[in-house]
Structure 1
């Protein structure tokens, strides 16, 4: 009988082969568009996707903005996400969210200003000390050149943070090389980040141990996106045992007591590590190694947040992927004020009963997995959504 690790490795290979053989067609044309394509060896890719539907990618949804101004953009705004996850509008003063990305977004601060003004949030600028942008060495200049389409990722990261009163520290790696991003993480911590969000990753292999130290900072909560490839081989840094791995959901309004319904997003990566040992606080039965995810939030680009970005995608778009859920969960951790209690994700397992348990949906696109929890959102812990989504701050 084959071992669990071999079963998952074989399945991952089969998934990759079948994906490559699927022909393009009308349905594929309407599929979300990946912001970052495949990355070369030693380089990370971002995990954001733009909603490509004509009615979803741009335009307004008709709801008046604060103060009776022009209608709000398509996509969820801060008030929507606070409603969906039971979060307060204030809190987090004194916390700093570190956002690590590759390359510069020349318009990041100006775009953030438009976003926050649109939704009635307090200004977050260099002038008032709320916003700071530096290179991977911690200097305000010289900033790195723009790296491909990463400015869209940066716009999403800045828009997705749940904590309106937190300070934002954007650290821009020289490029998407794993070492550059790791150095940027170290810099974010050195400059005072209390929570660091990493919305990128590389496929797990024997080499990931070489980069693990970048994400080991006791006293600082380290958060990372699981990825957008569905059920497959996990990604680092999310797979590291001391990182909170954030999966993704589809989130829609509903006529029920919560006012929302949630299911596993089909793109959210989950998987069983062949290289990282099972943490003591993780007890799921069908994976002998580290399982991802730990927790989740909205990531489906068809139900994603509104993003304003002008370097690559001028204007308003709806952007998702687990690049949306990672900075959002980072913001929730900052709101709760317990960043020093995240040497790993164990807190979210101890308080799992205080999360929204997401049930329904799976992340296997081309192969059946028999409804196993590793790829299906079942009651209790499961791979795509982890222990669930925020239900207020009690679990955090």
Structure 2
């Protein structure tokens, strides 16, 4: 578990020998100061958000890790906004942003209410979450969203071969990722159907096979909340798993700060960066900056070492594929509510962050926007409609020699791409 809590300096005072009355007064003063300092320190510490990774880091080349981060302590933006103390926040109630918050932040309230019927979002993850459907039902019921079940035809869970009965081994870490993905798809597009495709392991080959299965089952929107290091095999993976014209495929940019990851680097996908999302007094009602907690924690971005640059990318500092294209909320401190009950970490309601949240959010915005035209590459859509995005112009995710690779600016930059959704205009062909 990592923490963002800083050290707090203390002040010591020396007192000379004086009369008894002065000593008594000084003692009382010191006691009061100490009590106030302790109280202030407790309040400060309680406001610092801590979290842990849901999934283990990759152990082998071409193995992927999920990008879900589960909050374990401190006080999230949602709790502060609603006056919820950390002590009062527990697994029986949500402690992060819900559907109405996310829809409002991204100008989607009207579209979420009326769009999406008959459209299917596919969620691709590794291993099995045995409680996926029941946890999804709890999330949707709590927020008043329509039921999405196997029985009513809205929800489907399959293996990478399409089997509904021969499923992978269960894994509690990836179960948290699965719950996050399913809940974000529900939050943004409550009228959409959802297909969960579970790979038998976290290898790129098995996850890629699951992407192909999702497309083969008819999904036009496929979310992938995982990533790993780039390799010379990436061009092969591109053509084998991600070259699906007419399908919007989104991929998390990563949670380790500045640095390119795959498959976000694929030229065929929409690479999704992460922001810190906070309420504000602006006309929008929200403000965003690049998500960065430390030098090794924050949204990914960067210039690919292997993938060729797609024709629609025109930035001049990177000769190959540049990450990211667009972005959405990912900072755990401004995280989203998720319901997960499987395994040791699945205690009910929790707050999650990471670009694992932003990837399914953007996939679901594509679903609200409509079916991509045959032969199109939806990753290019935001580049043709940049005015329909909230430009994120502050923050950075690390140090780099080419400024926009890691630092927000007006217009395009690596950490947030062209920005975050402001309605659907940037996600239509």
Query: Taking structure 2 as the reference length, what is the TM-score of the superposition?
Result: 0.81
Question: CA–CA distance in 1 between the matches of 2:349 and 2:369?
Answer: 30
Q: Confirm or deny that 1:354 pairs with 2:385.
A: no
Instruction: Name the structure 2 match of 1:206.
Output: 232
Question: CA–CA distance in 1 between the matches of 2:228 and 2:403?
Answer: 25
Q: Confirm or deny that 1:183 pairs with 2:209.
A: yes
Shift of 1:97: 0.3
Asked if the contact 1:61/1:74 (under 8 Å) is kept, the reply is: no
Asked if the contact 2:116/2:368 (under 8 Å) is kept, the reply is: yes
Instruction: Name the structure 2 match of 1:49.
Output: 69
Residues 389/59 of structure 1: CA separation in 2 closer, same or farther (3 Å cut): closer
Q: Which of 289-298 and 44-53 deviates more?
A: 44-53
Shift of 1:32: 2.5
User: What does 1:129-168 align with in structure 2 at a 5 Å threshold?
Assistant: 129-161=153-185, 162-168=188-194
Question: CA–CA distance in 2 between the matches of 1:278 and 1:111?
Answer: 40
User: What does 1:258-273 align with in structure 2 at a 5 Å threshold?
Assistant: 258-266=284-292, 267-273=298-304
Shift of 1:56: 3.7
Q: Confirm or deny that 1:321 pairs with 2:342.
A: no
Asked if the contact 1:58/1:316 (under 8 Å) is kept, the reply is: no
The 3-state SS of whatever aligns with 1:55 is coil
Asked if the contact 2:119/2:193 (under 8 Å) is kept, the reply is: yes
Residues 242-269 of structure 1: CA deviation (Å, up to 9, x unaligned): 1111111000001110000000111110
Residues 211/27 of structure 1: CA separation in 2 closer, same or farther (3 Å cut): farther
Question: CA–CA distance in 2 between the matches of 1:253 and 1:59?
Answer: 12
Question: CA–CA distance in 2 between the matches of 1:339 and 1:299?
Answer: 26
Question: CA–CA distance in 2 between the matches of 1:27 and 1:152?
Answer: 28
Q: How many residues align?
A: 364
Q: Confirm or deny that 1:38 pairs with 2:38.
A: no
Instruction: Name the structure 2 match of 1:13.
Output: none
Question: CA–CA distance in 2 between the matches of 1:178 and 1:44?
Answer: 6
Residues 114/226 of structure 1: CA separation in 2 closer, same or farther (3 Å cut): same
Higher CA-based Rg: 2
From 404, 411, 421, the equivalent of 1:380 is 411
Identify unmatched segments of 5+ residues in structure 1: 1-22, 65-70
Q: Which of 103-112 and 205-214 deviates more?
A: 205-214
The 3-state SS of whatever aligns with 1:187 is helix
Residues 343-379 of structure 1: CA deviation (Å, up to 9, x unaligned): 1521110101211101101101xxx336811101110
Shift of 1:288: 1.2
Residues 315-344 of structure 1: CA deviation (Å, up to 9, x unaligned): 111101000000000000000004337515
Residues 141-168 of structure 1: CA deviation (Å, up to 9, x unaligned): 1111113510000000001111100000
Instruction: Name the structure 2 match of 1:230.
Output: 257
Q: Confirm or deny that 1:343 pairs with 2:343.
A: no
Q: Which of 49-58 and 34-43 deviates more?
A: 49-58
Shift of 1:236: 1.5
Q: Which of 203-212 and 260-269 deviates more?
A: 203-212
Question: CA–CA distance in 2 between the matches of 1:343 and 1:191?
Answer: 19
Asked if the contact 1:200/1:225 (under 8 Å) is kept, the reply is: yes
The CA RMSD over aligned residues, in Å, is 2.3
The 3-state SS of whatever aligns with 1:287 is coil
Residues 274-314 of structure 1: CA deviation (Å, up to 9, x unaligned): 11112221111211111000000001111111000000321
The 3-state SS of whatever aligns with 2:128 is coil
The 3-state SS of whatever aligns with 1:240 is coil
User: What does 1:111-126 align with in structure 2 at a 5 Å threshold?
Assistant: 111-126=135-150
Instruction: Name the structure 2 match of 1:307.
Output: 338
Question: CA–CA distance in 2 between the matches of 1:61 and 1:142?
Answer: 44
Question: CA–CA distance in 2 between the matches of 1:81 and 1:182?
Answer: 29
Instruction: Name the structure 2 match of 1:104.
Output: 128
